[in-house]
Chain A
Amino acid sequence: MSASPSILKSHSQATSVLLYPKGGKPSIIANEWQVWQGATDESTTQNGELNIDYQKKVLVPFAWWLSHGQTQAKDSGSAVAKRIQDKTIGVWFAADDDILKHTEVIESGKSIWPIIGADFPIFRDGRSFSTAALLRERFQWIGEIRAIGDVLIDQLIQGARSGFDSFALRADQNRDVALKQFDLFTVTTQNSWRDRRSQLDSQLEQIQ
């Protein structure tokens, strides 16, 4: 798992997120999901057991899920099992997680996780766009994919088209400007998770 200093910096969790469902309209909603940084975080006990506030839903690092979470899930008395039951645990992928190496874990996670996150260690690192695209295309993931980390206004369009439908914007980003981004382009010249290219769109042909 890569270091994500940007998240550590803004460790106070996002109070709101931008939700933009496929086919729907973007809106700002209250954030229910805290992002847990993993074993380096103070919120683990020494044996690596997840030890955080039960009142809050949590996204855990996928690497932690592999090393601890999936084992603990089998123990019906564990905190992880309880969270799975309550639908209060999801995972987030670091930018350098190779999701295609863990096909089986992800396939079985699909019925467990209500949400998946993908991290941007810095805004100009585009790896998580491919992660989101693969989750949609390859894994047929239909649940929410949330962009976390150094998420800025000017990466929203690419994120939304690659496969993300929620964005934990960095605290200093203007929410009003962010909401307007999705109206900027009315046409596209390649397929994406949201749209086929406009050239194949019969309605646009009629406009012409």
Chain B
Amino acid sequence: MYKYDYIDQTLVNERVTQFKDQVERRIDGSLPEEEFRPLRLQNGLYHQRHAYMLRVAIPYGLLSSDQLRTLAHIADKYDRGYGHFTTRQNIQFNWIKLEESPAILADLAKVQMHAIQTSGNCIRNITSDAFAGVAADEYVDPRPVCELLRQWSTLHPEFAFLPRKFKFAVCGAKEDRTILLCHDVGISLKKNPQGELVADIYAGGGMGRTPILGSLIKENLPWNVLPSYLTALLRVYNRFGRRDNIYKARIKILVKALGPEEFARQVEGEWARIKDGDDNFQQSEWDRVANHFTKPAYKSAQSISGQDLIDGAPANEQVAFARWLERNVKAHQVAGYASVIFSLKPHGSVAPGDATTEQMLAIADLADQYSFGELRVTHEQNLVLADVEQAQLLALWHKAKAQNVVLPNIGLLTDIIACPGGDFCSLANAKSLPIAKAVQERFDDLDYLHDLGEISLNISGCINSCGHHHVGNIGVLGVDKDGEEWYQITLGGEQGNHAAIGKVIGPSFGAEQIPDVMADIIDTFVKHRTADEAFIETYRRLGVTPFKEAAYLNRSKESTAGVAA
């Protein structure tokens, strides 16, 4: 993975010094809170319900075992012994003291990490495919482009105070695993017929209050001109994005107002003037960065069939191991290797995406032992060991069991994506964690879950949509009505190549109703499902009506909020 050079390290160290000075000025009173707020946000520091929360960037989801150990120590030393992996490949610590935040950043800098631009109205942490470089369906390894863009966007002076936050996703595989179309800018990498690396650019996607899928605004853009093209794009947004209304300030509103064609034309006009400048990446820069993303020293190994793997397990473990192989182990580019997903979604015991200090330390050791000392963070809030020898899968499974991260529920109903919600976040209208817990407890039968097949359930505690409810097959959104917490349900959302925004089924439900409503929706699916149809396929075939009827049957109007907020 990428290693900082003198320039990267100096920049991060100097950023720590700068932030330390800003915090000191805040504490001595010379910097008022209102003016400090955007500065601390640009360093990932939020003021939440109980304490400060620090969001640390895990650029494009890639983490070394030593970095994970540092995160574990930070959780132990400055927090309450755990961290929360987020839907944007970051990690959050919930119980931070303002005066200790510069020391945490200094600790992070020692392992080439930072919290730069993890919040604020600027270019945020760039996310990518958690299986970059190993996925069997990959066209292009997106990581060199991600890293080049990370550097380009870090402390970019012109775009430090945009109208609103700005999120990039980069993918390079046949199947999109980045929710590319729900980003302010989605960069889809591929090779053109001449074998050159080019990008298709999608703009104006996003979730939040107004969920919109991005529009294709540029095709076959050579990789090296990304800086000038993105400068043009961001310049149009910086100049003309709305600043009068925070809910209309994202680029999606500008793209929608102008129309994608006109937006693309304006970007093209700006780009024409700057496209040949030396902002553009040079081959030497590519070479320097790409050199860090070479393949690890794979052993030459034979591919092992699933059945042979299962047969290798003790008889009394074969069923459980087979289930884990099916759900939590993914195909790899290299024969004899596989990628393993550790589920951070145990049923009903912890918040989705949470990992304790002890777990992080143990997982770091497993990464060293089984996966070349590297890990990935998925936007579904799980962890990945990307390069595991198939022959070692059984041994790894045994060891990971002790850390409670082998539940075979990846992609299933209980692999819930959820934001921290009203338990922590000061923006939330409602809690999300108790909802996740209640659903996981209700659907605790693994046989049943496996029979149901792939279903994504995403929960957000407010319309900011950090829990990505819009793209969940089933989405749950916390809403506030007269000071009470209610939950609105959407169906039909999807991520990936068929990305779709879910539709609201009707009035909101009370928290205590959600597990039953979920059961009614699932029962409807089971009743109408043909053969091995996935939930989303049945939904697409039948439309919302039967699900909606089941959800409201035998539920009085009084028991629901009666409004679709």
User: A-side interface residues toward B, CB under 8 Å?
Assistant: 98, 123-127, 129-131, 133-134, 137-138, 152, 154-155, 157-162, 174, 177, 184-192, 196-200, 204, 207-208
Q: A188 to chain B: which residues have CB within 8 Å?
A: 11, 155
The answer for the CA separation of A192 and B277 in the assembled complex, in Å, is 12
Q: B238–A207 contact, CB under 8 A?
A: no
Chain A nearest CB from B245 CB (Å) reads: 14
A154 touches B158 (CB 8 A): no
Are A177 and B25 in contact (CB-based, < 8 A)? yes
Cβ–Cβ contact B152 & A189, under 8 A: yes
* Those 9 A-B pairs whose CB atoms lie nearest each other, nearest first: A126-B161, A161-B157, A158-B157, A189-B151, A208-B6, A129-B158, A198-B7, A158-B160, A187-B7
B278 touching A196, Cβ below 8 Å: yes
Residues of B within 8 A of A98 (CB): 239
- Residues 270-289 of B, flagged 1 when their CB comes within 8 A of A and 0 if not, give 00011001110010010010
Whole-angstrom CA separation of A186 from B288 in the bound complex: 21
B164 to chain A, nearest CB (A): 11
User: In the complex the two chains form, what is the Cα distance from A125 to B160 in whole Å?
Assistant: 9
Q: How far is the CA of A199 from the CA of B160 in the complex (A)?
A: 21
- A185, B11: Cβ atoms under 8 Å? yes
- In the complex, whether B39 has a CB less than 8 A from a CB of chain A is yes
CB distance from A67 to the nearest CB of B (A): 22
A184 touches B18 (CB 8 A): yes
Give complex CA distance A137, B228 in Å. Answer: 13
Residues on A with beta carbons closer than 8 Å to the beta carbon of B288:
199
Nearest A residue to B282, CB-CB: A200
When the two chains form their complex, are residues A126 and B162 in contact, meaning their CB atoms are under 8 A apart? yes
Q: List 24 A-B contacts (CB under 8 A).
A: A98-B239, A126-B121, A126-B160, A127-B238, A127-B243, A129-B159, A129-B161, A130-B158, A130-B238, A130-B239, A133-B158, A137-B273, A155-B160, A157-B157, A158-B157, A162-B158, A189-B11, A190-B152, A191-B279, A196-B278, A197-B151, A200-B278, A208-B5, A208-B6
Q: Are A124 and B7 in contact (CB under 8 A)?
A: no
Chain A residues contacting B278 (CB-CB under 8 Å) are: 191, 196, 200
State the Cβ distance, B161 to closest chain A Cβ, in Å: 3
Q: Are the C-beta atoms of B7 and A152 separated by less than 8 Å?
A: no
CA distance A107 to B556 in the complex (A): 70
Q: Which residues of chain A are near B227, meaning CB under 8 Å?
A: 190
Indicate whether B174 reaches chain A with its CB closer than 8 angstroms.
no
Contact between B14 and A185 (Cβ–Cβ < 8 Å)? Answer: yes
Tell me the complex Cα distance, A40–B291, Å. 60
Q: Are A199 and B158 in contact (CB under 8 A)?
A: no
Distance A131 CA – B38 CA, assembled complex (angstroms): 21
Contacts A190-B279, A191-B278 hold; do A130 and B11 have CB atoms under 8 A apart? no
List residues of chain A with CB within 8 A of the CB of B30: 174, 177
Nearest A residue to B37 via CB reads A124
Q: Which residues of chain A are within 8 angstroms of B160 by Cβ–Cβ distance?
A: 126, 129, 155, 158
**Which residues of the partner chain A approach B25 to less than 8 Å between Cβ atoms?**
177
**Residues on the A chain within 8 Å of B154, using CB:** 189-190
A154, B161: Cβ atoms under 8 Å? no
Q: Are the CB atoms of B22 and A154 closer together than 8 Å?
A: yes
The reply to whether B235 and A130 contact each other, CB–CB distance below 8 Å, is yes
Contacts of A197 in B (CB 8 A): 151
Known A126-B161, A130-B238, A154-B22; judge A190-B156 contact (CB<8 A). yes
How long is the Cα–Cα vector from A162 to B160 in the complex, in angstroms? Answer: 10
User: Could you tell me the distance in whole angstroms from the C-beta of A190 to the nearest C-beta in chain B?
Assistant: 5
Contacts of B182-219 to chain A: CB distance below 8 A: none
Specify the chain B residue showing the minimal Cβ separation from A123.
Answer: B35
Question: A44: shortest Cβ distance to chain B, in Å?
Answer: 27
B161 pairs with A189, CB closer than 8 A: no
B17 at the interface (CB under 8 A from A): yes
Contacts A124-B121, A125-B161, A158-B160 known; 7 new A-B pairs at CB < 8 A: A154-B31, A154-B39, A158-B161, A184-B17, A187-B10, A190-B151, A190-B153
**0/1 interface trace, chain B 3-34, chain A, CB 8 Å (1 if under):** 00111101100110110001001000011000
Contacts of B157 in A (CB 8 A): 129, 157-162, 192
> Is there contact, CB below 8 Å, between B158 and A137?
no
Residues from chain A with a CB closer than 8 A to the CB of B279 are: 190-191
Complex Cα spacing A137 to B282, Å = 21
Interface residues of B in 140-158 (CB under 8 A from A): 151-158
Closest to B239 in A: A130
CA distance A200 to B151 in the complex (A): 13
> Closest CB-CB distance, A7 to chain B, in whole Å?
17
Closest chain A CB from B11 CB (angstroms): 5
Which B-chain residue is minimally distant from A192 (CB atoms)? Answer: B157
Bound form: Cα–Cα A184–B13 in Å: 10
Q: Which residues of B contact A185 (CB under 8 A)?
A: 11, 14-15, 18, 155
Closest CB-CB distance, B121 to chain A, in whole Å? 7
Nearest-neighbor residue (CB-CB) of A172 within chain B: B30
Query: Which chain B residues (107-123) contact chain A, with CB distance < 8 Å?
Result: 121
Report Cα–Cα, A173/B213, bound state, in Å.
Answer: 43
Contacts of A174 in B (CB 8 A): 30
Question: Of all chain B residues, which has the CB nearest A131?
Answer: B239
A152 contacts which chain B residues (CB < 8 A)? 35
